[in-house]
Amino acid sequence: MKPTHIQTLYTLQDLVTRGFRESRPGEFPYRRGPYASMYTQRPWTIRQYAGFSTAEETNAFYHKALASGQKGLSVAFDLATHRGFDSDHPGVEGDVGMAGVAIDSVEDMKRLFRGIPLDKVSVSMTMNGAVLPVLACFVVAAEEQGLQPETLTGTIQNDILKEFMVRNTYIYPPAPSMLIVSDIMAWTHKHMPRFHSISVSGYHMQEAGATPVQELAFTIANGLAYLDAARQAGLGVDDAAPRFSFFFGIGMDFLTEIAKLRAARELWATLVRERFQPGNEKSLLLRMHCQTSGWSLTAQDPLNNVVRTTIEALAGVLGGTQSLHTNSYDEALSLPTDTAARIARNTQLILQEETGLCRTIDPLAGSYAVESLTADLIDEALKLIREVDGMGGMMRAIEAGMPQRKIQESAAARQAVIDSGEETLVGVNAFISEEAGSVEVFDVDNRKVREHQIRELERVRSQRDPAAVENSLLRLEETAGRISGENHGLQEKNLLQLMVDAARQRATVGEMTAALERVWGRHRTDSVPVTGVYRTTYKDKALLMEIVKEVEEFARKEGRRPRILVVKLGQDGHDRGARIVAAAFADIGFDVDLGPLFLTPAEAARQAIENDVHMVGVSTLAGAHKTLIPQLISELKQAGAGDIAVVAGGVIPEKDALWLKDNGVLEVFGPGTKIPEAARKVLRHLSTPSKQNE
């Protein structure tokens, strides 16, 4: 699934045809890099994304990583924190500490960075939904290290638009969410001049199924929307743009990924100059962090992932990234083990120290293929950006569902190509080894972590001044009710400032989030699968039609089609897998209900019963399967619906898959499962019902 037509041969004429112009690194339009010297004076920053379990355990990991050559920290928060819930909230029972570190208050943040000088170590935080309370806790934690905000360096992601598009860790509706983005840009401009107030992320779009062109176009369009928001908050382009950074995913399409990063810099510089007329040349610079693809990692023969990650890292470096995260080979199965994390980190050290990549600047400049692909990507992305402009901008496009639909269609088409063997994945659908063996996986005891967090929450609440906390939360709620969005970012009642005040009083992340939620509510989206794409794209039509006929035979015998409810449980909003499965099963002939995000097991069971389904399929990515899936089975049994079968799919280690089957799950489909095979297996189970859930 290439976004551009890659020719078998490129010549000088291709550069002439595409209007190639010679340029230098550090000069407009910055195709060759934002800085004149690039890696010859300073290599890219090794910034590994990490967080798990408790603040104490993550802190120990950070100390080891810094001692091993890592130059900056990138914090992964658990899904409860992302969604603005404290660890004792009943809706996050399976999520606490599972896909990142649990942060409930300033005290957790202080433990997270204990012994780490925040004025010397750059910190990147991937946080969007609960960005206000988390950033406030970070500021206060640094303050209690004796540091002023102006000494801090790093990045807060603060990219809410892509959450509405693909990642789904939003909290509030779009309009007030954009006010939050503006307030953070305004406050950090005044108080944190060395800190990047926003990281515009394409990475999560790629992980959700976007093509390189879609990732490029929608990321740049989001960045332009944030510059508009900054202007509406009273900031000039030269106040805001130099504090922007960007975040791209790097997949396995090697030459295209290199070209994508070079195209991103030229697109941003050109469009910002055209639309905003900055006076400061730094406003045109697109600085980026990159991460190797998590989606490209395979659970089958996982040591192959060491090679995949190395190739992707090399593409990121040749594209000119300023910092880089390399994924660990075992992340298709679990959080990374220490061994896997060390190999991932050393991959970057070897590239920096042993390959000579840092001796020259943009070594692929002038390449017929790379320059041609860069020009093609710019042209194709501009078409998509103009389509967004024609809809009234990125917010309007998102409200209309345009980028979401395009990305979901691309994901479904890509899966069909892989399932039918048209695209080769070594060890998955070709060159399969019987000797691959298993690997050690990292296991977090979710119940133990949650119990620890609840004890810490109780301690914090018992030692604070309740009246001071209540007053700080009341000020937050009142301000959220008053602000209209017109230049509010520069007013005294900036929401981030009020959050900092509340965090000093030891208000928790959940309490601060709830104060705004009482005014704005929580955002909800409808889940509708994109149908038709998988069936159209799947190459082996004969095989697909065989399964379609089996579905029709089932319907003839049973009087109705097989019906399945596809759900995500807990706070896991990564729904690429759920959407693809729902779309493909519908194309095969199943009646498919796609549940809304963030269901509890009780809610999922109720929907399954109300919809009269034969089976519930649970898609899981964030490690909560051992807690939430057994609860779903229990809820079905208690409601007298134990005959509704439960299957699971996603990132589930083999030992967990066996445990789930022992506890009532009919089938577990791991990463790399071909959807037609899964559909056929499900259909045969439904034709000969199992009694194990009754």
**DSSP annotation of 288:** E
Question: 488, 574, 614, 674: which is the annotated catalytic residue?
Answer: 574
Adjacent-strand bridge partners of 563: 591
Residue pair 567/595 in contact (Cβ under 8 Å)? The answer is: yes
Q: Give me the sheet containing 563-567, strands edge to edge.
A: 591-594, 563-567, 615-620, 645-650, 667-669
Residue type, 392: G
Neighbouring residues of 690: CB distance < 8 A, sequence distance ≥ 6: 645, 666
* Dihedral of alpha carbons 19, 23, 28, 34, sign: positive
Question: 35, 172, 203, 534: which is the annotated catalytic residue?
Answer: 203
Provide DSSP, 491-518: SS--HHHHHHHHHHTT--HHHHHHHHHH
Expressed in percent and rounded to 5, the helix, strand and coil fractions of the chain are 55, 10, 40
Question: Is-catalytic flag, 656?
Answer: no
Q: Both tokens of residue 683?
A: 């259909």
* C-alpha distance from residue 119 to each of 68, 125, 147, 397, 666 (Å): 20, 15, 7, 40, 52
Question: Is-catalytic flag, 329?
Answer: no
What residue has token string 């992980």? 207
Question: Is-catalytic flag, 574?
Answer: yes
Question: Is-catalytic flag, 203?
Answer: yes
Question: 189, 260, 488, 568: which is the annotated catalytic residue?
Answer: 568
Q: Both tokens of residue 404?
A: 């979401």
252: buried, middle or exposed (CB in 10 Å: 19+, 13-18, 0-12)?
Answer: middle
* C-alpha distance from residue 387 to each of 3, 5, 206, 345, 384 (Å): 17, 21, 20, 40, 5
Question: 204, 260, 406, 626: which is the annotated catalytic residue?
Answer: 204
Question: 35, 39, 49, 534: which is the annotated catalytic residue?
Answer: 49
Question: 159, 572, 593, 656: which is the annotated catalytic residue?
Answer: 572
Q: How far apart are CA 176 and CA 129, in angstroms?
A: 11
* Active site positions, annotated: 49, 203-204, 568, 572, 574
